[in-house]
Amino acid sequence: MSRFSKQRRQVVLGGLAAFGSAVLGTPAVRAQTMEKFLVVMDFLPSWRHAAFHLAKVKGWYHDAGLDVQVDDGSGSTTTIAQTFTGRCDLGLASLSIMAVSRSKGAEVFAVAGIIRRNDLGMFVDRKLGIKDPKELAQKNAKVLFASTGFQSLFPVFFKNLGVDASQLSLVPMATGAVEGAYLGGQGDALITTVPYVLPIMDQQRPSDTYMFADYGLPLPAHGLVASRETFGRRREAMHKFLTVSERAWKQVWYGDTKEAIDALVAERLQAKINAELELKRAAAYKPFSVTKATEGKGIFWMAPSDWEAAIKVMRDGDLVGADSKPTDFYTDALVRESA
């Protein structure tokens, strides 16, 4: 081969190498190397989803090598079913409902606690003039609540309040309608997720609150759940997602919460979200992000003592099997214990 031919060959090969490097460096090709990850929310867009949208908008998931899709949900029960059947990698859901589903055979468990203090409670209209919860029975109060699997806990709650539940008028209603009914003047009391409704309640129907957690019912609230099959198969991707999401939740709790809400609004324009209201809800939930056992710990870390107390209550209320162990329902393997 002539000297000229060798030089030409080197030029051609060098040009091809440069072209290949340029092509591989384009966004289109880089995107093909991103690992897809699907997380399903618990319900329609709300402040609880803001951290995940913040991480997407800021590019934090992308920087970790994840192409994350955040889908809206239609209730914790449905999200848990989607998680169990492998239709998503993780789901945001009520951890109490998750525990009930797990006891019924769904191989799911919590991998991160987000709202770690029970947010269930009861509003009582101040117009009743109740000074002691026992007066609810004396007035044969009408208590509204959403039909859920947690009605079996009501007797324990009212017993710990010193109230004879048989003397109350307990009125089940459809989820999503019960809060509006109470705000509209129906009933005397309402059992619901207190911090979510609180910003509206203060303005429309001033009420006193009685929290389940303060009366012997320390149930877990919300967190991220996974199926055991997906956990085993996508453990590394889950760890990346949780690490980034922890950063986003830290901003929601301790930093610029408004930026997170703005990201939610930008990602869900058609939902017509009331940003001011969602910001108030985030503030109302902040005290519920920790329990005594998780103070000073990682944002997603779940305390063994909290789960032990919760499962005992759920066993006593026949919500989970009598042989259920706390470790059946959660793992801290992918989250940091230290803050």
What are the tens digits of pLDDT across the range 86-142? Answer: 999 999 999 999 999 999 999 999 999 999 999 999 999 999 999 888 899 999 999
- pLDDT for 32 equals 53
pLDDT tens for each residue of 225-262 = 999 999 999 999 999 999 999 999 999 999 999 999 99
- pLDDT for 141 equals 95
* Position 28 in a domain: no
Same domain, 234 and 314: yes
Please indicate whether residue 155 or residue 276 has the higher confidence score (pLDDT): 276
* Position 25 in a domain: no
Stated as kind and residue range, the H or E segment containing 63 is helix 60-63
Among residues 215, 244, 259, which one ends one of the domains? 215
299: domain CATH number is 3.40.190.10
Nearest CA among 323, 322, 327, 320 for reference residue 152: 320
Banded pLDDT at 315 (limits 50, 70, 90): very high
- pLDDT for 3 equals 45
Name residues whose C-beta falls within 8 Å of residue 136's C-beta, 6 or more positions apart in sequence: 124, 128, 130, 143, 161, 163, 168, 188, 189
| Helix 235-254 / helix 257-267 crossing angle, nearest 10 deg | 120
C-alpha–C-alpha distance, residues 139 and 137, integer Å = 5
Among residues 215, 248, 265, which one ends one of the domains? 215
Same domain, 111 and 128: no
* Position 27 in a domain: no
Same domain, 224 and 112: yes
* Position 314 in a domain: yes
Same domain, 111 and 231: yes
Same domain, 247 and 271: yes
- pLDDT for 118 equals 95
Strand partners, 121: 192, 211
Q: Which domain holds residue 322?
A: 34-117+219-328
pLDDT tens for each residue of 163-187 = 988 999 999 998 779 999 999 999 9
Stated as kind and residue range, the H or E segment containing 35 is strand 35-40
Name residues whose C-beta falls within 8 Å of residue 151's C-beta, 6 or more positions apart in sequence: 145, 170, 172
Same domain, 237 and 285: yes
Do 226 and 90 contact (CB within 8 A), yes or no?
yes
- pLDDT for 8 equals 45
pTM given for the model: 0.87
* Position 109 in a domain: yes
C-alpha–C-alpha distance, residues 99 and 234, integer Å = 22
Residue 16 has pLDDT above 60, yes or no: no
Residue 27 has pLDDT above 70, yes or no: no
Rounded to a whole number of angstroms, the CA Rg of the chain reads 25
- pLDDT for 149 equals 59
* Position 22 in a domain: no
* Position 183 in a domain: yes
* Local structure of 242: helix, strand or coil: helix
Same domain, 180 and 295: no
- For tokens 């897809």, the residue is 36
C-alpha–C-alpha distance, residues 165 and 134, integer Å = 10
- pLDDT for 15 equals 45
Banded pLDDT at 2 (limits 50, 70, 90): very low
Residue 7 has pLDDT above 70, yes or no: no
- pLDDT for 156 equals 86
Among residues 169, 187, 215, which one ends one of the domains? 215
- For tokens 């099997």, the residue is 321
* Local structure of 106: helix, strand or coil: coil
pLDDT tens for each residue of 38-82 = 999 999 999 999 999 999 999 999 999 999 999 999 989 999 999
Residue type, 111: V
Same domain, 293 and 253: yes
Do 51 and 252 contact (CB within 8 A), yes or no?
yes
pLDDT tens for each residue of 185-209 = 999 999 999 999 999 998 899 999 9
Residue type, 166: S
What number of other Cβ atoms are within 10 A of residue 87's Cβ? Answer: 15
Same domain, 211 and 227: no
Nearest CA among 52, 106, 85, 77 for reference residue 251: 52
C-alpha–C-alpha distance, residues 329 and 131, integer Å = 39
Same domain, 126 and 226: no
Q: Number of structural domains, the chain?
A: 2
* Position 146 in a domain: yes
- pLDDT for 6 equals 46
Residue 152 has pLDDT above 80, yes or no: no
Q: How far is CA 323 from CA 156, 297, 319, in A?
A: 21, 29, 12
